[in-house]
Amino acid sequence: MIKVQNLSKSFGPKTAVNGVSFTVERGEVLGFLGPNGAGKSTTMRMITGFIPPSAGTVRIGEFDMIEQPIQAKRLIGYLPENAPAYTDMTVHGFLGFAAELRGLRGEEKKKAIHRVVEMCFLDGVLYQSVDTLSKGYRHRTCFAQSIIHDPQVLVLDEPTDGLDPNQKHEVRGLIRRMGEKKAIVFSTHILEEVEAACSRAIIIDRGQIVANGTPAELKQRSDVAGAVTLRVAGVNASALGQKLSQLPMARKTTMLKDEASCVTARVFPQPNCRNGELARGIYEAGAREGWKIEELHTEEGRLDEVFRSITMPDTAREERK
Amino acid sequence: MNSSFGNIRAIAKRELVAYFSSPVAYVVLVIYLLWAGFFTFMVGRAPFFEFGQASLVTFFLWQPWLFLLLVPAIGMRLWSEERRLGTVELLLTMPITAWQAIVAKFLASWLFLALALFLTFPLVITVNYLGDPDNGVIFCSYVGCLLMAGGYLAISCITSAITRNQVISFILSVVACLFLILAGFPPVTEFLSKATSKPWIVDGVAALSVITHFEQFQKGVLDSRDLIFFLSLIGFSLFTTGVILRGHRAG
């Protein structure tokens, strides 16, 4: 549904987006990750036709955004960053205005407003002026506007920004449910959101795509992915470390915590080690040695660590080495 | 065609509702009507009652100056407010063209100014009650007023597209409209004709002025040249607004 090819945008000498390409099909929810100023919003503005790209193309369905903007825009629902809304209107008036610009009239318009008001829980504030709304309600009002015509493509720029944890949970659920039938792109810098709602994620940094895959695939790129963490009671830390290092699948062992009552260690696998093999090896070694194992688990890898290692500025990366 | 009319109507309706849901519209309306009455009856060499004729000349005489403050006050928020709130992003990602939005906003404000003008109707009734005025001339002058208001308004569209600050937008459009008045203001044209011996310079500058063209309407003359002047001023200004808005987005 969304096909982005070699999209670039420069503002004067500054390049905000540089050669971004990806596609999103119906039934997919694409998470757009990146640090602040990475070019997420600029990319979304180009996808929705708000700003023209310096180079590259955007296709929505079968329409090119530059050549047939009206047809392309009809297919999109868009929630811009910071959820702007006309502050002098009521929620009902604002949604009615959005419905009219989407070509809905009369009975159709009424039904559409009713549907989104229910979906976004706006019943209580329907006739309240937008400028008296709390941030969460204003956000949901703008979100309601974006789905009023039941679009095939949904572009959401930080849809959970400024919401409380319950509202975040609701919005994520909404995105996941709608993602079954629509093509959705949403940007965020909250990593748990990606795991909660996305079928695929793209990490963008300084205008370029630096990673593209399912959340599980991305997590695999983490340093700790596949490592085994264990906590053992009543052993000597150095003795434990030595035994663990002797395991054939272990590449490296680090001590995380060394307390009087118990020791926590992390064992990193050899590159060719299969999933679960290391944990099993440690368990068997523990049984032989009579360790009192209190905890043993294989790390899945952490998205925030992947994110940091990919998008960290070069200087910080050097320092870390 | 049908849908573009529908889009223009939807946006214009929103704008009009926005005017009346804020106090600005009422304040501006009341002040305009008070001033219009004050200047017509109290100010000048020959105010209404001392003029000795059943006509609204003393009313229309002041309109270019009253509009100088009224119109920018109405037009200043048109695009600057959209940009300040960020709703311009919402509006221009809807399946509409930028032209539809520009024209719709202009028409909504123009309609509001037409309402302000319409509310001066007691003057027309008064003058008809007191004497036997030439209502053709009065009608023609009202048409001139409306066109002049449209010209000022289109300029306010430009200035409100330039900045997201309404005060700056207001001041810029007052200055621009003042220039359009002064170019044909008698003291200025007299000064120019003294300063230069070439009459085409004086006429050329005066031809840019709304005063020169508005005078024709006040005489009851509907000349195509004056119509074309105001309509092309509106057309050119709205086109410029479109170019500026596109410039913001292109970065």
Scanning B12-31 for CB atoms below 8 A from A yields 14, 17-18, 21-22
- ipTM field: 0.87
Read off the pLDDT of residues A209-240 as tens digits, 9 standing for 90 and up: 988 888 888 877 777 777 888 888 877 888 78
Domain boundaries, chain B: 2-250
- Could you give the strand order of the β-sheet that contains A292-298, starting from the edge strand earlier in sequence? A250-258, A262-269, A228-233, A292-298
CB contact set of B70 (below 8 Å; sequence gap of 6+)? B28, B31, B32, B113, B116, B149
Output the CA torsion sign for A166, A37, A303, A187.
Answer: positive
Taking only the tens of pLDDT, chain B with its 251 residues reads: 468 889 999 999 999 999 888 888 889 899 999 998 888 888 776 777 777 777 788 889 889 999 999 999 999 999 999 999 999 999 999 999 999 999 999 999 999 999 999 999 998 998 899 888 888 999 999 999 999 999 999 999 999 999 989 999 999 999 999 988 888 777 888 888 888 777 888 888 888 888 888 988 988 888 898 999 999 999 999 999 999 999 888 86
Q: Alpha-carbon distance B169 to B81, whole Å?
A: 10
For residue A270, the model assigns a pLDDT of 81
Segment holding B143, helix H or strand E: helix B135-162
The beta-carbon contacts of A311-320 under 8 Å, at least 24 apart in sequence, are A311/A34, A311/A35, A311/A38, A311/A203, A311/A205, A311/A210
Query: Is B249 close to A52, i.e. CB distance below 8 A?
Result: yes
- Could you give the strand order of the β-sheet that contains A63-64, starting from the edge strand earlier in sequence? A14-24, A2-11, A55-60, A63-64
Q: Alpha-carbon distance B13 to A302, whole Å?
A: 52
Read off the pLDDT of residues A21-59 as tens digits, 9 standing for 90 and up: 999 999 999 999 888 888 899 999 999 999 999 999 999
Nearest CA distance, B164 vs chain A (angstrom):
15
Positions in chain A short of pLDDT 50: 321
Nearest to A50 among B3, B92, B95 (CB): B92
Quote the pTM value.
0.86
What are phi and psi for residue A8, nearest 5 degrees? -135, 150
Share of chain B above pLDDT 70, in %: 98
Q: Alpha-carbon distance B79 to B164, whole Å?
A: 7
Nearest CA distance, A82 vs chain B (angstrom):
8
Amino acid identity of residue B156, one-letter, is S
CATH 3.30.70.3100 residue ranges in chain A?
Answer: 228-299
Determine contact: B7 vs chain A, CB below 8 A.
Answer: yes
Query: Is B97 close to A70, i.e. CB distance below 8 A?
Result: yes
CB contact set of A114 (below 8 Å; sequence gap of 6+)? none
Q: Which residue of B has its CA nearest to A55?
A: B250
Determine contact: B219 vs chain A, CB below 8 A.
Answer: no
| Buried b or exposed e, range B35-44, using 16+ CB within 10 angstroms | bbeebbbeee
What is the CATH architecture assignment of A2-220?
Answer: 3-Layer(aba) Sandwich (3.40)
Query: Is B249 close to A86, i.e. CB distance below 8 A?
Result: no
Which residues on chain B are in Cβ contact (under 8 Å) with A99?
none
CATH 3.40.50.300 residue ranges in chain A?
Answer: 2-220
What is the CATH architecture assignment of A228-299?
Answer: 2-Layer Sandwich (3.30)
B85, B94, B97, best to mutate vs chain A, most A CBs in 10 Å = B94
Which residues on chain A are in Cβ contact (under 8 Å) with B94?
73, 98, 101-102
- Least Cα distance to A61 among A142, A124, A148, A2 occurs for A2
- Least Cα distance to A59 among A80, A73, A40 occurs for A73
Q: Alpha-carbon distance A194 to A117, whole Å?
A: 26
For residue B103, the model assigns a pLDDT of 96
Q: Alpha-carbon distance B154 to A247, whole Å?
A: 81
Q: Alpha-carbon distance B66 to B61, whole Å?
A: 10
Query: Is A101 close to B11, i.e. CB distance below 8 A?
Result: yes
